[in-house]
Structure 1
Amino acid sequence: MNIESLRTYCLSKPAVEETLPFGPDTLVFKVVGKVFLLTGLDSDPLSFNVKCDPDLAIELRERYDAVQPGYHMNKKHWNTITVDGSVSGRLLKEWIDHSYELVVDSLPAKVKAELKK
């Protein structure tokens, strides 16, 4: 996965917008105004922060060296993923999906219903 495939994947999800609220170097993906993924445009190798269930976050950090507590984020709810080739693209997408779904699940029922149309 590279920055372009990451962008394409995130933007393929319903109601996602791409923003630069922290300046030109940090790309932020939001669903209905709520952040589900952040990445530094100058990070080499590519890394990104995703929201994660707290118990799963701990499990992933213990299992994968590429998964660390969220950099500059709430360590309980966010992981930083380094795309160093040690984790499959399928797993990376699963973690992005999980982050997106956590944010969608936190939205009001009316908004969630609109997203599923």
Structure 2
Amino acid sequence: MDHQQVHDYLLAKPCTSVSQPFGEGVDVYKVKDRMFATLALGKMGKEDDEHRHWRVNLKCDPDEAQALRDIFSAVLPGYHMNKKLWNTVMLDGSIPTGELERMMDNSFHLVVEKMPKKCRKNSKKIYGVEHS
């Protein structure tokens, strides 16, 4: 997936908005005012401008976050985020589309699940997430 496909996929989630509260160049995706992803063009380390990649930060279960880092070289601890709960995924084409979509879905669902009960009312219908 390229950055435009990731943008479209994230924005297609129910009740999602995008803004740039950290300045131009960093898109922040929120569901009901709660961040579940960021998308930015950047470099990691001392790479020159020709080797910049789009990257997406996604919330993740701590155990799964580490497992994904072990499996995929393009998954790193969350850049400027809580490194236990967030991963940075480099959009370099090395991660299969289905896996990247699963990671984005999980990030969205983790944020929805943490919303107060009144915000989750009708969540199965609106968000596609079941709650007890």
- TM-score category, normalised to shorter length: over 0.9
**Quick one: which amino acid aligns to residue 70 of structure 1?**
G
Q: TM-score, normalised by structure 2?
A: 0.83
Equivalent of 2:78, from 55, 66, 70? 70
| Separation of aligned partners in 1, 2:72 and 2:21 | 30
2:107 is aligned with 1:96: no
Offset at 1:52? Answer: 0.3
Tell me by how many angstroms 1:59 deviates.
Answer: 0.7
| Structure with greater Cα Rg | 2
* Structure 1 partner of 2:17: 17
Superposed, which structure 2 residues align to 1:41-56 within 5 Å?
A: 42-43=41-42, 44-56=52-64
Q: Which residue of 2 aligns with 1:30?
A: 30
**Paired-residue identity, %:** 40
Give the drift of 1:79.
Answer: 0.2
Structure 1 counterpart of 2:114: 106
One-letter code aligned to 2:91: V
Which consecutive unaligned segments of at least 5 residues does structure 2 have?
A: 43-51, 127-132
1:19 partner letter: S
TM-score with structure 1 setting the length: 0.93
Q: Where in structure 1 are there 5+ consecutive unaligned residues?
A: none
Give the aligned length: 116
Tell me, what secondary structure is at the counterpart of 1:39?
A: strand
**Counterparts of 1:31 and 1:11, CA distance in 2:** 9
CA deviation string 1:18-57 (max 9, x = no partner): 01000011000000111100011x3332211000000100
Structure 2 equivalent of residue 80 of structure 1: 88
Moved over 6 A (4+): none
Q: How far apart are 1:114 and its partner, in Å?
A: 3.9
Give the Å deviation of 1:63. 1.0
**Matched residue of 2:6: which SS?**
helix
